[in-house]
């Protein structure tokens, strides 16, 4: 077996990812309770903001990055059917990221980095926080390099063949992440770290926000692509059918890679430091990325329909009933698509700047991203874990029924949590508040929604704990798993006649470079021409 190393890497990367997730879920529940304003004795801005900062960093950066690295190593070795390139390097990357996580966790947990996961200056955190975050990213770059090298070597050894879809998407994601993380890396290395260490007295918060916006949009696709890989490469097969179109899938991944990068200013629609023309340009691009997502929705539904009909489903909707709902992968896909559709509507509101002013930075925003990120994306992470954890530990999944219960409760909990959250936003509640102190009638209208959110949070916490229990008991299960091979869905037609640029990494990079120069060139350069005034550090 030539994928022994990648299985161990996946096991340990995922252990870190899921441990972070479990801990952060407890924080999430504490937050919904604390912020509701219904329990006076709990009120503590200090505790709350330390908690949200830790929860945000663990969920958005630690869970995702380690999960993606582990999944990528598995995908590379099993889809390319070749051993991991430089496993020693992969372990080094793992440890660099792990050390970074621990270094950042120390100030986070001791309240010395309550700057939230977006760490907008000029509020300053302890320098260890920025250094730890930087190391987490540097470790993940090692993963990116290994993915790219393996794809290039495979191309060299298999002239004329096209990359297996799962690997195609993984390399696209590795490149996406290299380009994406460059923005925040520039901010952290040239602005935040020198400033936190006292080498520089001041920095420009406008430039910092611009660099962060570069990262903030495509990063969500970095998180989402593994979920899409499951939808394209596992779900059709698990449902008992075939992938509708591999070609379209490749176009979708390529579209996500190229068009999600140059559009980050939709996060700055109401910022003063960028001009309206640039915002319009990024706004147009934002709607273009909807196309690959709409294509994905179509291909996945079409693949499921094929499976449902092969299973004997008849009529317009009969195939839905004949899908194997008791297969965790299929169930998660259905629930994920439901949340994606709802979240997609919300996303259109966020992306339209005339509507955006109504909900910008209100509770609507965390409502939206919990639905689509903690919902759609993470539920597919769970499904991938149920699918692959038995294969990497060699132990049989302890209970399929428990896994189904866990997925359903996650869906119900997320609906209960995020629906009232959206409403609260429309009712004007700001995001990132530790309590509702406003002396205004408005806050009375918020209370019933806060109660629903607490119920949602409780269901979610239960579901998260169940997830942990299932994985733990599977790991310790005496019964071995017999089917440890990892198989990917077959397309109806083998892909053929794809234009060469679809597989050409150099061409992709060139196109991205040009688009990034157009979208970010002047907006960043302007700070060196404007007469700007920098900020000293502030505590919180």
* Residues of this chain, 194-253, that bind Cu ion according to CB under 5 A: 217
Q: Which residue has the tokens 């793992």?
A: 94
Q: Of the listed 155, 432, 438, 473, which one is catalytic?
A: 432
Distance CA 67, CA 24 (A): 15
Residue 335 interacts with which of ligand HEM, another protein, Cu ion, none, CB < 5 to 8 Å by class: none
Output the smallest distance, CB 434 to ligand HEM, in A: 8
Q: What are phi and psi of 495, to 5 degrees?
A: -65, 140
Output the smallest distance, CB 266 to Cu ion, in A: 5
Q: Which residue has the tokens 């140059």?
A: 262
Residue 331 interacts with which of Cu ion, ligand HEM, another protein, none, CB < 5 to 8 Å by class: none
Residue 496 sits in the site that holds another protein (CB under 8 A):
yes
Residue pair 63/374 in contact by the 8 Å Cβ criterion: no
**Interacting positions 276-305 with Cu ion (CB under 5 A):** none
Distance CA 150, CA 87 (A): 12
Residue 370 interacts with which of Cu ion, another protein, ligand HEM, none, CB < 5 to 8 Å by class: ligand HEM
Residue 358 interacts with which of ligand HEM, another protein, Cu ion, none, CB < 5 to 8 Å by class: another protein
Residue 344 interacts with which of another protein, Cu ion, ligand HEM, none, CB < 5 to 8 Å by class: none
> Would you give the binding string for another protein spanning residues 380-419, x where CB under 8 A is met?
----------------------------------------
| CA nearest to 128, candidates 214, 192, 175 | 192
**3-state helix/strand/coil string of 415-433:** HHHHHHHHHHHHCCCECCC
Q: Of the listed 7, 209, 267, 368, which one is catalytic?
A: 368
User: Cα angle vertex 77, ends 340, 168, to 5°?
Assistant: 45
Catalytic, 317? Answer no
Residue 360 sits in the site that holds Cu ion (CB under 5 A):
no
Exposure on the CB side of residue 427, measured as CA atoms within 13 A: 20
Distance CA 28, CA 37 (A): 15
Catalytic, 382? Answer no
Residue pair 519/105 in contact by the 8 Å Cβ criterion: no
Residue 539 sits in the site that holds another protein (CB under 8 A):
yes
Catalytic, 369? Answer yes
Distance CA 465, CA 377 (A): 18
Which residue's CB atom is positioned nearest to ligand HEM? 28
Stretch that binds another protein, among 254-262, 270-278, 317-325, 392-400 (CB under 8 A): 270-278
For another protein, the closer CB: 1 or 444:
444
Output the smallest distance, CB 303 to ligand HEM, in A: 26
Q: How far is CA 351 from the centre of its chain?
A: 18
With a CB cutoff of 8 Å and minimum separation 6, the contacts of 440 are: none
Distance CA 7, CA 2 (A): 10
Output the smallest distance, CB 471 to ligand HEM, in A: 15
- Number of Cβ within a 10 Å radius of residue 500: 8
Q: Rule CB under 6 A: which residues touch ligand HEM? A: 25, 28-29, 31-32, 35, 52, 55-56, 59-60, 63, 116-117, 366, 370, 373-374, 378, 417, 431-432, 457, 460-461, 464
Catalytic, 432? Answer yes
| CA nearest to 151, candidates 219, 72, 96 | 72
Q: Which residues pair with 123 in a beta bridge?
A: 538
Q: Which residues pair with 395 in a beta bridge?
A: 480
Output the smallest distance, CB 448 to ligand HEM, in A: 17
Output the smallest distance, CB 123 to ligand HEM, in A: 13
Residue 117 interacts with which of ligand HEM, Cu ion, another protein, none, CB < 5 to 8 Å by class: ligand HEM
Q: Of the listed 71, 130, 221, 467, which one is catalytic?
A: 221
Residue 244 sits in the site that holds another protein (CB under 8 A):
yes
Tokens found for residue 74: 């598995």
Q: Single out the residue of 26, 91, 281, 298 in contact with another protein (rule: CB under 8 A).
A: 298
Q: Reduced to 3 states, what is the DSSP secondary structure of residue 51?
A: helix
User: Which residues are part of the catalytic machinery?
Assistant: 217, 221, 368-370, 431-432
């Amino acid at each position: 077996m030539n994928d022994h190393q990648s299985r161990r890497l996946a096991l340990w990367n995922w252990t870190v990812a899921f441990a972070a997730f479990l801990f952060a879920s407890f924080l999430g529940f504490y937050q919904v309770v604390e912020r509701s304003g219904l329990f006076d004795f709990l009120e503590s801005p200090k505790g709350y903001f330390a908690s949200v900062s830790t929860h945000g960093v663990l969920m958005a950066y630690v869970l995702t990055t380690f999960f993606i690295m582990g999944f990528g190593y598995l995908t590379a070795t099993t889809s390319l059917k070749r051993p991991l390139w430089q496993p020693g390097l992969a372990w080094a990357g793992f440890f660099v990221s792990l050390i970074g996580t621990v270094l950042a966790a120390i100030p986070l947990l001791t309240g010395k980095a309550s700057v939230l996961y977006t760490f907008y200056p000029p509020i300053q955190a302890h320098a260890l926080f920025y250094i730890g975050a930087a190391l987490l990213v540097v470790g993940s770059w090692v993963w990116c390099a290994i993915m790219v090298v393996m794809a290039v070597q495979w191309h060299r050894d298999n002239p004329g063949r096209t990359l297996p879809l799962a690997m195609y998407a993984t390399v696209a994601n590795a490149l996406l992440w290299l380009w994406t993380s460059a923005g925040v890396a520039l901010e952290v290395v040239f602005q935040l770290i020198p400033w936190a260490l006292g080498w520089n007295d001041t920095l420009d918060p406008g430039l910092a926000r611009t660099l962060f916006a570069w990262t903030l949009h495509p990063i969500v696709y970095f998180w989402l692509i593994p979920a899409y890989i499951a939808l394209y490469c596992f779900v059709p097969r698990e449902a008992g059918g075939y992938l509708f179109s591999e070609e379209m899938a490749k176009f979708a991944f390529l579209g996500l890679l190229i068009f999600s990068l140059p559009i980050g200013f939709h996060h700055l629609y109401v910022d003063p430091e960028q001009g309206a023309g640039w915002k319009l340009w990024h706004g147009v691009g934002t709607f273009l990325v909807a196309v690959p997502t709409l294509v994905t929705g179509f291909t996945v539904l079409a693949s499921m329909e094929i499976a449902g009909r092969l299973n004997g489903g008849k009529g317009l909707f009969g195939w839905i009933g004949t899908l194997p709902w008791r297969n965790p992968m299929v169930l998660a896909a259905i629930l994920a698509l439901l949340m994606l559709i709802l979240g997609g509507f919300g996303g259109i509101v966020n992306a339209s700047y005339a509507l955006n002013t109504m909900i910008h930075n209100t509770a609507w925003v965390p409502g939206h991203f919990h639905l689509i990120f903690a919902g759609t994306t993470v539920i597919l992470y769970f499904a991938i874990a149920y699918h692959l954890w038995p294969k990497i530990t060699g132990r049989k999944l302890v209970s399929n029924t428990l896994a189904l219960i866990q997925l359903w409760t996650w869906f119900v909990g997320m609906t209960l949590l995020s629906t009232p959250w959206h409403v609260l936003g429309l009712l004007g509640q700001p995001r990132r508040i530790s309590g509702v102190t406003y002396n205004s009638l408005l806050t009375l209208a918020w209370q019933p929604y806060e109660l629903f959110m607490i119920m949602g949070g409780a269901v979610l916490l239960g579901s998260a704990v169940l997830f942990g229990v299932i994985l733990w008991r599977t790991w310790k299960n005496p019964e071995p798993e017999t089917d440890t091979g990892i198989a990917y869905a077959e397309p109806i037609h083998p892909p053929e006649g794809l234009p060469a640029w679809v597989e050409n990494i150099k061409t992709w990079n060139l196109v991205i470079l040009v688009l990034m120069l157009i979208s970010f060139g002047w907006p960043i350069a302007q700070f060196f021409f404007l007469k700007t005034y920098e900020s000293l550090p502030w505590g919180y």
